[in-house]
Amino acid sequence: AASTSAAPHVGGASTRGRRGARTRARCAALVLAATAPAAAAAAMRRAGADVSKGGWCAVVDAFTDPQREDERWDLHGDDESLPVRDAGRAQPVVFRNDVRCGCVLTQLRECILDALGARGSAGADADADAGADEKGADDAEAVPSSPSSDDTKDSSPDPPPKIYTVRIPRPDTSDLQSKISLLESRVAGVTERADVVRNIARVKIVAKQTAQSDVSVARERLRETQAEVHAKLDVIKPLRAQLNAHRQQQRDVRDAGRELPCRTKEELDAKIASLEERIMHESLALSEEKEIIKAIRSLKTKYAALERHAESASAVVVATAGRGELEATIKALNAELDVLKLQEGAHRKMFEAQKEKLAEANAEVEESIADRNAVQKELNDAYAELKEAKGEKYKKDKVWYATRKQHDKLKRMLGRGDHEAVREAARAHNDEIHARMRDDAAYRAAYVENIKSRSVQWLASVLGPWGDDLLEEAAQVDGDAPAKAKRAAAAAVEAGAEEAKSKEAAKEAKKLAAAKRSEEAALARAAAKEKAAEERKRAQEEAEKEAAAKKAATAARKAADAESALFAARAAESAATAAAALKEASKHAAEILKMEKARFEASAAERRARMQARRAEQDAPAAAAGGLG
């Protein structure tokens, strides 16, 4: 709960100085008495205070008795052991148990805050009041002190009555806070690891892009070489077709010559003469003679075919006169083509090697991307757990935040002077909390449990060196709440250590990642230099090969040109000789044909005369017989 005042009245520092740390320890023990009486008694003994059952223990027991919830209690009496006694007060401090059962701690805290001077403290107690101020941030903000005896002498009338609003104690979320700290450390570590994996993936992607560029360059060179090969083939193919046509013409002439009975007219004349000689000088049967005469007639029809064949052969000789030059040109072009095909093979091998490197780079990129996705999934899961834990903590603290916001709103309204509205709003708020405390046992139990937990943690911070012992004694004597608070504090320390360890691991991971990136960059630069040197060497070798090939092609072309010129001269001479021979042969053939014709006619006349004589001889006996008859 928190208290506010329409006109804050702060006591002097001299009064607080007289109280000192001894009185503050007693006040702290009084608050602890409601949750851990044995631990409070031990703390008061350590502080040098009297522990009297007729003193503060009786007051605490009375306030915690639910049967006496409507009574009013005056904490000022004759018992000097009461830690809240202040001789400088103009009026006794009066408590009213207006919060049922569990709210006694609210009133006790307000008394202690008045005694400690949580607002406006100065001077020698500034350091000692830091713990009270920290506690006030959670449970009692802007709580004014009562005026001291020194101030009452000079001050005018008593301050107006205070307006109290019941504040919900903040739930114990130490376990969730420890979980959040651990999850934040985990998220930080996974984030650092994700950065390292992302950097590695970027390096792999750059390597893949370099491999893709190398493949593109190798592919372009291969295509250029293939284009040169195709261009050279486009030049060679027509020449090869022309050469094949010449060869086909020669084959056709040879095939046509095979169908003729003789290759020349002389051979044909000789063959006909031999057949006629057989008829003239040999005794043949009539059928054989008829066959020979038929063969002679057939052979005599071949003179025209033989003349056509001779003309075709002469035409083929003339047409294929440049065959040698053509073959030489094709030979030179084939040499250039062979060089280009060698270059094409080298570029193809280079292209295949670059493709293999690209495949390896793709595999590495896929692996690094899989690692990156796995780490990203782990990071997303960690973020989801952290978000869930924060949401759960906010859900627990939501009512506490709302109450705190309401308290701040009432303070602002007081600052504007709207006292009646503040009083009505505070009364409505308090009635709502009281009704819930009365009717909801679970809410009341949670309220008391939170009061105990927050009180023990605050007292440990106020008591300073006694705080750890106080938490330990409270845990041993008074149940689970102080032990839970101590576990929460230990968990917070452990979470801090874990976070520091995670940060250190993240730093180491960053260093390793930076070193790895530097190493990979150095390796990449060295590989690039080596690759550039290899490319230059390969380009130089290719240039040398190309120059040698061009030189060889030029020499081959020159030789082919010389051979072609020589062959052309020989072909021209051969053509002239062939033409003269053909002319002479034609003339001679005409003469021979004339002579053969005359000879054939003479032989035919002789043969007819002989046949007539033979018939006359055969007919003579028949004529004689007829005469006789």
Residue 532 lies in a domain: no
The answer to the question of residue 219 being in a domain is: no
Query: What's the whole-number mean pLDDT along residues 389-401?
Result: 86
Mean pLDDT of the chain: 68
Residue 423 has pLDDT above 70, yes or no: yes
If you average pLDDT over residues 209-214, what whole number do you get?
91
Residue 525 or 55, more confident: 525
The identity of residue 407, as a single letter, is: H
Query: Mind listing the pLDDT tens digit for each residue in 101-143?
Result: 334 444 444 444 444 443 333 333 333 333 333 333 333 333 3
> Residue 51: left if φ>0, alpha if ψ -120 to 50, beta else—which one?
beta
Residue 67 has pLDDT above 80, yes or no: no
386 found inside a domain:
no
Angle formed by the axes of helices 419-439 and 323-415, nearest 10°: 100
Write out the two tokens for 40. Answer: 């409070």
CA distances from 623 to 368, 612, 613, 620, 629 (A): 131, 16, 15, 5, 10
What does the pLDDT read at residue 224? Answer: 92
Supply the pLDDT for residue 295: 81
- Would you say residue 57 lies in a domain? yes
Handedness of CA 455, 457, 461, 464 (dihedral sign): positive
Is 477 buried (19+), middle (13-18) or exposed (0-12) by CB count in 10 A?
Answer: middle
Query: What pLDDT score does 491 carry?
Result: 64
Number of helices (H), then strands (E), belonging to the chain: the values are 15, 4
Report the domain count for the chain: 1
Residue where the block lists tokens 């690759």: 531
**Domain interval for residue 453:** 2-170+400-478
- Residue 46 maps to a domain: yes
**Helix, strand, or coil here: 440?**
coil
pLDDT at 593: 62
Nearby residues of 53 by Cβ (< 8 Å), 6 or more positions away? none
Tokens of 403: 């109450």
> E strands along 48-162, which residues?
72-74, 94-96
Residues 172-194 pLDDT 10s: 777 888 888 888 888 998 898 88
Judge residue 127's burial from the number of C-beta atoms within 10 Å of its C-beta, 0-12 exposed, 13-18 middle, 19 or more buried.
exposed
CB 10 within 8 A of CB 423: no
What is the arithmetic mean of pLDDT over 40-48?
A: 51
Query: Does some domain include residue 406?
Result: yes
Residue-level pLDDT at 629: 45
E strand or H helix at 164: strand 163-165
Which contacts (CB < 8 Å, 24+ apart) does range 376-381 have?
Answer: 376/194, 378/190, 379/187, 379/190, 379/191, 379/194
Q: Is the pLDDT of residue 380 over 90?
A: yes
- 15 falls within a domain: yes
Sequence-ordered list of residues with C-beta below 8 angstroms from that of 191, at least 6 positions apart, any chain: 379, 506
For the whole model, what pTM was predicted? 0.43
User: Cα–Cα distance between 419 and 617 in angstroms, integer?
Assistant: 184
Q: Does 19 reside within a domain?
A: yes
Query: pLDDT tier at 77 (50, 70, 90 boundaries)?
Result: very low
At 388 the pLDDT is 92
Pairing of strands 163-165, 94-96: unpaired
Run of H or E residues at 163: strand 163-165
Query: Diameter of the chain by CA atoms?
Result: 217
Q: Helices 467-477 & 441-463, crossing angle to 10 degrees? A: 150
